[in-house]
Amino acid sequence: MARRPNYGQQRAEINRGKQAKKAEKQRERDEAVARRKAGRDGEPEDEAPPELEPEHVKPD
């Protein structure tokens, strides 16, 4: 005789998979934020990069 399906167990397995996927996605987002913040900390904030400065303005 075949066993009855255990819907609660199936649902729990699906939910665990979803939770693991969400956790992995959040971890990747957090790493991306950390990389962006680390890159931003290395550059001075008040100075424009040389390629963004206008060429017609030359210091004396």
pLDDT (tens digit, 9 = 90+) per residue, 10-42?
999 999 999 999 999 999 999 999 999 998 876
Could you tell me which residues come within 8 angstroms of residue 43 by beta carbon, excluding any fewer than 6 positions away? Answer: 49
The answer to whether the Cα torsion of 18, 21, 27, 28 is positive or negative is negative
Q: What is the pLDDT of residue 47?
A: 58
Report the Cα–Cα distance between both ends of the chain, in Å, rounded. 94
pLDDT surpasses 90 at 54: no
pLDDT surpasses 70 at 52: no
Q: What is the largest CA-CA distance in the chain?
A: 94
Q: What is the pLDDT of residue 41?
A: 79
Q: What is the pLDDT of residue 33?
A: 96
Cα angle 36-38-44, degrees, rounded to a multiple of 5: 100
| Averaged pLDDT, 35-60 | 68
